[in-house]
Amino acid sequence: MGYNVTLIPGDGIGPEVTGATRRVLEAAGVAFRWDVVAAGADVIGKSGTPLPDSVLQSVRKNKVALKGPITTPVGSGFRSVNVALRQALDLYACVRPCKTYPGVPSLYKNIDLVVIRENTEDLYAGIEFESGTPEARKLIELAAEAGRGAIREDAGISLKVISESGSRRIVRFAFEYARAYGRKRVTAISKANILKFSDGLFLKAAREVAGEYHDIEFDDRLVDNMTMQLVKNPQQFDVIVAPNLYGDILSDLCAGLVGGLGVAPGANVGDDIAVFEPTHGSAPKYAGQNKANPMAMMLSGVMMLRHLGEEMAADKLERAIAGVMAEGRSVTYDIMLDGAIAAGTAQVAEAVVEKLAAS
Ligand code: NAD
């Protein structure tokens, strides 16, 4: 018995934080049958690709996955496995809650917001034209012929693709999420004053969809103003919905408001599949050192329990994690108070398991 869940440990700190999370999920009293599958640079030799079909098949079959971060080479090499997975499974909504927990050092108190990021379009669609290639030249000619302006001959081009259907779908998701989780307001983010045909389309769709939800407030912000307002008065925000790139940047910013990436969970959600992974990456410099904070991954596990309908276990696990944070004795370097001694990844898991046992 138990839930069939795909487990992708990832690389860098991934295996350590997923291992710690698996431990606390099981200690929360829910049974799982884990299908452990590998993706990333390490499997290229054997599979010829960093994202083998077997990984996609497992997630499609189980419909739920817990995923550690996977390294993406910068500038060259293979494209992001994380982005490819979201696109292949059409996990169009990235849900990233940011909440202040007592005991976690942060610049603010009483923040409880959620960033919902569109996951499949925008500059992340991966439609790029390398500088100097015949394709890039063709596009440059097309822009000139269409009277859209001169692009320098040596330019590399990445397309910002935003569709009306994709925008409606993510904004509707944000409103449905707000309803399901008792939230009051949705704020849409764009740069529609400058990018009229892409962000303008997103904002128009957002305003139209908002008209269907009279029980939830709606407003919108330009992304530059939004960064300033988030730093000045983050407590005013509730659910934030954004196209892919702004959502990516704002969710790291919001993680910083509540204590950092070590406490920022996330989920990538489609119509019938959900992959739970923290906002942070593989932090290669801490790989294998028992230093990384597993709490972002554990809180992603809490989100997974809620998704599975295991509300009681989710509440219990979140309380146990919050308890360990509040005591501050068994926390990693990134959220400890000045002068304290940092706990290791495994020690944090141990402390959460003890809290669960005592609850
Ligand atoms: P990162 O999130 O790995 O690290 C940013 C900073 O936060 C570093 O100082 C790191 O040490 C720290 N940090 C991150 N997670 C932490 C944790 N759990 N506990 C304590 N400290 C933590 O971002 P990066 O350095 O920009 O990226 C590293 C690699 O991760 C890159 O290859 C990137 O492409 C990849 N990445 C993967 C994902 C994903 O798998 N979804 C997401 C983001 C980045």
Whole-model pTM: value is 0.93
**Given 11, 35, 122, 248, the catalytic residue:** 248
Q: Could you report the per-residue pLDDT of 317-337, keeping only the tens digit for each?
A: 999 999 999 999 999 999 998
- How many C-beta atoms surround the C-beta of residue 180 within 10 A? 9
Which token pair is 349? 């898991």
Q: Where does the pLDDT of residue 359 fall: very low under 50, low under 70, confident under 90, or very high at 90 and above? A: confident
224 catalytically annotated: yes
196 catalytically annotated: no
What average pLDDT does range 3-20 have in this prediction? 97
Q: What share of the chain is helix, strand, coil (3-state, %, to 5)?
A: 45, 15, 40
Residue 204 has pLDDT above 70, yes or no: yes
Q: Could you report the per-residue pLDDT of 130-187, keeping only the tens digit for each?
A: 999 999 999 999 999 999 989 999 999 999 999 999 999 999 999 999 999 999 999 9
Please name the residue whose Cα sits nearest to atom 41 of ligand 1: 69
Q: Where does the pLDDT of residue 76 fall: very low under 50, low under 70, confident under 90, or very high at 90 and above? A: low
Which of 38-47, 121-130, 286-295 is modeled with the greatest confidence?
Answer: 286-295
Q: Which helix (H) or strand (E) holds 332?
A: none
Q: Where are the domains of the chain?
A: 1-94+265-359, 107-122+162-257, 125-159
Mutation to probe ligand 1, out of 67, 104, 280 (largest number of atoms < 8 A from CB): 280
CB 40 within 8 A of CB 73: no
Please check whether the domain covering 1-94+265-359 is classified as CATH 3.40.718.10: yes
Q: Where does the pLDDT of residue 338 fall: very low under 50, low under 70, confident under 90, or very high at 90 and above? A: confident
107-122+162-257: CATH architecture: 3-Layer(aba) Sandwich (3.40)
Q: Can you give the pLDDT at residue 343? A: 96
Q: Can you give the pLDDT at residue 90? A: 94
Q: Can you give the pLDDT at residue 78? A: 73
Length of the chain: 359
| Ligand 1 neighbourhood includes 282 CB (under 6 angstroms) | yes
| Ligand 1 neighbourhood includes 18 CB (under 6 angstroms) | no
Three-class DSSP labels, 160-190: CECCHHHHHHHHHHHHHHHHHCCCCEEEEEE
Please name the residue whose Cα sits nearest to atom 9 of ligand 1: 283
What average pLDDT does range 273-293 have in this prediction? 96
Q: Where does the pLDDT of residue 80 fall: very low under 50, low under 70, confident under 90, or very high at 90 and above? A: confident
Tell me how far apart the alpha carbons of residues 195 and 218 are, in angstroms, rounded to a whole number: 21
Q: Could you report the per-residue pLDDT of 16-62, keeping only the tens digit for each?
A: 999 999 999 999 999 999 999 999 888 888 888 899 999 999 999 99
* Closest C-alpha among 106, 151, 116 to residue 255: 106
CB 192 within 8 A of CB 203: yes
Q: Can you give the pLDDT at residue 21? A: 98
| Ligand 1 neighbourhood includes 94 CB (under 6 angstroms) | no
Q: Where does the pLDDT of residue 102 fall: very low under 50, low under 70, confident under 90, or very high at 90 and above? A: very high
124 catalytically annotated: yes
Tell me how far apart the alpha carbons of residues 315 and 306 are, in angstroms, rounded to a whole number: 9
| Ligand 1 neighbourhood includes 292 CB (under 6 angstroms) | yes
